Structure 1
Amino acid sequence: MVLHLVTIDRVLGSGTVTLMTLTAPQGNGAFVTNESDAFLKSLWQERQRGGAQGNQVEALARGPLKEDDQELLRLLKERYLAKPSDKPANLMLDKEGARAKNYNVYRTAFHSWIRINKILKKLFSGEPPHFFVEAGALDGEFISNTLYLEQDLGWTGLLVEADPLLYAALPGKNRKAWSSQTCLSPSDVAERLTFETYEPRDDRDVAAALLVRSTGNLAGIRSPALGQMGSKIPVEVQCFPLFSYLLALNATSVGYVSLDVEGAEAEILLHLPWDRVDVTVWTIEHRATNEGFKVHYEEPWGIRAPPMPPRPRPSGSLGGHEGGEERKDKKLDGEEVLPPKKIVYVTQHDPASGKDPYLVRFMKEKGYRLHDYWDGDYTFIKADSEICRKHCTVEVE
């Protein structure tokens, strides 16, 4: 983030009015003003000092500052949150032509998005507008779970997307929601982390290319796509705890959260101060390959659970690696030994399988009922909410 001074109407320190522009690495500029002259003065002084002292304002964001630190919240809102647009929506949904047709194919072919969209229409149609959060917002339109809430029901909210290329297209959509090119921290402090985005390895149509980029994940996190969807490109991204965004926007009461962060959901939810937020409905994309919730219950004091005994092997077993790694087919006593099955992203053979009982247990303990599960997508409804009283007829087993 580059700080440029545009004008100074009066001398700092004596009733100043200062206008600055902050330019992100991707070239997007946003004018920033602040009622607090002291804060603007600190920005200007840090810009002037430079040198070996470095930029202390940026250091604030690097952390570690706790999620409810007031300086952190002010920094988040002033430098990392873009306001909702007051312009008419500019969506591919409303366009014609081959590119728009290919872009919008998800509306008829992506079963996960179709299923979630139907659930949201059932739960929220006729309800008053509320606040949403979508983490993993991509370009603000493609497979967005919150676009319906905003366009049809008049909601507003927050869109968070870490991938700088995907986010670069988001402001042009003119969403009526706050947005941020950052990521949700997998802890309770602000920090800068490495985010691994993926480029298609060959020429793809627009929908396929967006799908590849949608699999970006924090480095060190076991993502559902296992890094197999494209060529990895690491970038440094600023991250904030989910609770920090809500505090900065004074929105700790939330109607709907869509959490699709490619493997980091356990860490994010485990660090959320649940007694200080009120969320009615969650959609969480989660695969049991991320064992964060399992570790939470089986290793509560940081002591690893006893290892499982090794599986018995046939006499003369050739050994080899397990857990989804490729190996060539072998012959053993005249019988073909097949390589272990890979975990296939999105296209599981049985979309009703693969549920993580530890996530379900965790959310139940937080006061939620599992309303729907399909192909790694969970919908939880707060048990004591009016939405649940209307729609929680039978809990999903």
Structure 2
Amino acid sequence: YFKTSKSQICQDYFVASYFNFKSNGVFIEFGATDGIKDSNTYSLEKQLNWSGVLVEPIKSFYTKLKENRDAICLNNVVYNTSGNNIPFIESKTKELSTIKGYEMLDKHNRDINNSLIYDIETISLQDIIEKHLPHKEIDYLSIDTEGSEYQILKNIDFNVYNFKIITVEHNYTKNRQKIYKLLTSFGYERILSNISRWDDYYISNS
């Protein structure tokens, strides 16, 4: 069924196995990098014919992302509203890049003095769904935005949108508990927290 995992801690294998390795699922992934390295959706797309939307704010990653993937690719930063230009910090270690103001919210030690800072247009999760995946059930939502995860999630109307699985990076910050309270209030259950390390895995019970 599943030959290789590209995820850091086998998130893709967890998702595939949860759905009994079904084909033609639908995903959304934030922080997609080049679409291959540490990707939570590459193997789902290439091995199980899943489709969806990938969002990556860093231009050099985005160029490679479009080459590497068949899914819809967006060069935006996901935030609570769409159409705003906000400052974005491109860290020397690009995978640690984040929205300005969130750089101190996780445990990564970024060298801001050696970072690029530029404006990038925001897009909300709601607009991603309405524009690109209308009337589709979203099987899997993967969020790795280096600090802004809670801000993104708290602006989603979970009474309208349901995601069967959400994996969200927390990096052991105070936002982990905020995310837990938010998602469990909408019927999500956190599972496998003893092995998921810096991510949390949530499944929908609705």
TM above 0.5, one fold? yes
Relative to structure 1, the CA distance from residue 188 to residue 238 in structure 2 (aligned partners, 3 Å threshold; closer, same or farther) is closer
Residue 94 of structure 2: aligned partner: 213
Residue 90 of structure 2: aligned partner: 197
Q: Is the contact between residue 252 and residue 278 of structure 1 (CA under 8 Å) also seen in structure 2? A: no
Q: Is the contact between residue 82 and residue 121 of structure 2 (CA under 8 Å) also seen in structure 1? A: no
Alpha-carbon distance between aligned partners in 1 of 2:54 and 2:140, rounded to the nearest angstrom: 12
The alignment status of 1:188 with 2:8, answered yes or no, reads: no
Residue 185 of structure 2: aligned partner: 365
- Where 1:277 maps in the other structure, the secondary structure is coil
Residue 326 of structure 1: aligned partner: none
Compute the displacement of 1:288 (Å).
Answer: 4.5
TM-score relative to the length of structure 1 = 0.47
Residue 376 of structure 1: aligned partner: 198
Runs of at least 4 residues of structure 1 off by over 3 A?
none
**Which one has the bigger strand percentage?**
2
Which of 106, 110, 114 aligns to 2:9? It is 114
How do 1:228-267 and structure 2 match up within 5 A?
Answer: 228=111, 231-249=114-132, 250=134, 253-267=137-151
Taking only aligned residues, the RMSD between alpha carbons, in angstroms, comes to 2.2
Q: What count of residue pairs does the alignment treat as equivalent?
A: 198
TM-score relative to the length of structure 2 = 0.87
Structure 1 unaligned segments of length 5 or more: list them.
1-103, 200-211, 292-355, 385-397
Structure 2 unaligned segments of length 5 or more: list them.
none
Residue 3 of structure 1: aligned partner: none
Larger radius of gyration: 1
Alpha-carbon distance between aligned partners in 2 of 1:368 and 1:113, rounded to the nearest angstrom: 23
Identity %: 22
- Where 1:370 maps in the other structure, the secondary structure is strand
Compute the displacement of 1:117 (Å).
Answer: 3.1
Q: Is the contact between residue 54 and residue 71 of structure 2 (CA under 8 Å) also seen in structure 1? A: yes
Q: Is the contact between residue 188 and residue 272 of structure 1 (CA under 8 Å) also seen in structure 2? A: no
Alpha-carbon distance between aligned partners in 1 of 2:205 and 2:112, rounded to the nearest angstrom: 37
Compute the displacement of 1:170 (Å).
Answer: 1.4
Which of 96, 112, 129 aligns to 2:24? It is 129
Alpha-carbon distance between aligned partners in 2 of 1:126 and 1:167, rounded to the nearest angstrom: 28
Which is bigger in relative contact order (C-alpha 8 A, separation at least 6)?
A: 2
How do 1:1-397 and structure 2 match up within 5 A?
Answer: 113-173=8-68, 175-185=69-79, 187-199=80-92, 212-221=93-102, 222-228=105-111, 231-249=114-132, 250=134, 253-291=137-175, 356-373=176-193, 374-384=196-206
Compute the displacement of 1:142 (Å).
Answer: 0.8
**Deviation digits for residues 91-145 of structure 1, max 9, x if unmatched?**
xxxxxxxxxxxxx9x95xxxx7233233123212332422100100001111100
Compute the displacement of 1:257 (Å).
Answer: 0.6
